[in-house]
């Protein structure tokens, strides 16, 4: 079995989610838009599943719209917010450490005439709320800020951003990418003060291919549909609903018991203490989120460490899985020494992670650092 330390990239599907998906695929497979009993049963199951997720998120079920993934949710939120505020202006504020699902749309919008301000992190990967307040302008239409950074585990000042927008009397709408934060750090959309919020199920032990977007109820009469079609998701996101994935999403939420995040944090903290004691390993930052730990082996490139560990069945990453081996823009945005930045590796944990697994990883990293070689055996 591999040593899996890449839960921030994706998670193994929990038994409850797999069972729920199988139940729907084999016995409750009706189209929710159909009017016969099998279709109506599918619609009832979908609505019940939506209610489970909404309750965990702390919003109304009708404020939660299913999408295919977090990337779709982010793109939809950005587009919808800018359309709603098209008369406000063409200024966007985001951060230099957002996921590419926000940075790439921002890049495209900049080419189309929008002006984008990128807030920079400090050496611990944190954003100064004062920088956000100073960046607000009368023509700021959108602030898009992730809740938990997917490579650092730091919690960004979303609540402070919402407060700054209110205190400035700004019309800017606030979008939050909460893909890495859901169920791992406590929040509700109302508590954050956001207008849009993105989720992805495969980060919490559900299958890939299902996500959600929270849209504050007061905006519903003004938001345009993501696309046009058969009118599903109250007309906002047409397309036959992925009922099996939705059922798995809800089941994974229900299976996430109180105390799970604390248990993950205990393993992460043990890893931080254990790995930082190795000569040749540095902990870059210890973020507020419980499941992510960025480290560096400054004598090596992070990518080479990832590949060497991978050859021995150990799964870590040198940044977001979406980078596909390219240097991480997150670590590049931080004022770190070049060798620390080059040697950065992300380790991330889940409910099944153990301290024994950490000990095994520590032994391998010790072997690398002592031998100054990536040629080793597990």
The partner residues of 140 in beta bridges, in order of sequence, read 91
Express the helix, strand and coil content of the chain in percent, nearest 5 each: 45, 15, 45
Question: Distance from CA of residue 104 to its chain's centroid?
Answer: 16
Cα(366)–Cα(361) distance, integer angstroms: 9
Looking at 59, 69, 315, 322, which residue is catalytic? 322
Helices (H), 136-188: 158-167
Q: How far apart are CA 208 and CA 150, in angstroms?
A: 17
For residues 71 and 68, what is the distance between their CA atoms, to the nearest angstrom? 8
Distance CA 315, CA 312 (A): 9
Cβ neighbours of residue 102 under 8 Å, at least 6 residues apart? 74, 78, 94, 144, 146, 177
Three-state DSSP at 262 gives: helix
List the structure tokens of 56: 């965990």
Instruction: Order across the sheet with 282-283: list the strands.
Output: 282-283, 292-296, 344-348
Handedness of CA 300, 304, 306, 311 (dihedral sign): negative
369 is catalytic: no
Q: What positions carry a catalytic annotation?
A: 322
């Amino acid at each position: 079995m591999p040593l899996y330390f890449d839960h921030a990239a994706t998670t193994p599907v929990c038994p409850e989610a797999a069972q729920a998906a199988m139940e729907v695929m084999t016995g409750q497979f009706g189209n929710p838009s159909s009017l016969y009993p099998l279709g109506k049963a599918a619609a009832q199951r979908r609505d019940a599943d939506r209610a489970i997720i909404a309750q965990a998120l702390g919003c109304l079920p009708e404020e939660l719209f299913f999408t295919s993934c977090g990337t779709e949710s982010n793109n939809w939120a950005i587009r919808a917010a800018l359309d709603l505020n098209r008369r406000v202006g063409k200024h966007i504020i985001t951060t230099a450490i957002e996921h590419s699902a926000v940075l790439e749309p921002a890049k495209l919008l900049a080419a189309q005439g929008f002006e984008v301000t990128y807030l920079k992190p400090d050496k611990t990967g944190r954003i100064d709320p004062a920088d956000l307040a100073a960046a607000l302008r009368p023509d700021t239409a959108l602030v898009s800020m992730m809740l938990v950074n997917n490579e650092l585990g730091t919690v960004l000042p979303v609540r402070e951003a919402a407060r700054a927008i209110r205190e400035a009397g700004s019309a800017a709408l606030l979008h939050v990418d909460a893909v890495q934060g859901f169920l791992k750090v406590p929040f509700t959309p109302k508590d954050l003060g956001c207008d849009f919020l993105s989720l992805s199920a495969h980060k919490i032990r559900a299958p890939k291919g299902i996500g959600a977007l929270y849209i504050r109820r007061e905006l519903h009469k003004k938001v345009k549909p993501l696309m046009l079609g058969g009118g599903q998701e109250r007309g906002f996101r047409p397309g036959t609903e992925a009922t099996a994935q939705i059922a798995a999403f809800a089941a994974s939420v229900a299976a996430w018991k109180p105390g799970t995040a604390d248990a993950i944090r205990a393993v992460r903290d043990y890893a931080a203490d254990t790995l930082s004691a190795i000569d040749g390993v540095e902990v870059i930052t210890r973020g507020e989120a419980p499941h992510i730990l960025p480290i560096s082996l400054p004598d090596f490139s992070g990518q080479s460490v990832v590949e060497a560990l991978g050859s021995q069945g150990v799964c870590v990453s040198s940044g977001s899985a979406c980078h596909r081996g390219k240097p991480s823009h997150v670590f590049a945005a931080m004022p770190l020494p070049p060798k620390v930045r080059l040697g950065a590796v992300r380790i991330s944990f889940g409910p099944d992670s153990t301290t024994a697994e950490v000990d095994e990883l520590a032994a391998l990293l010790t072997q690398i650092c002592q031998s100054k070689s990536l040629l080793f055996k597990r």
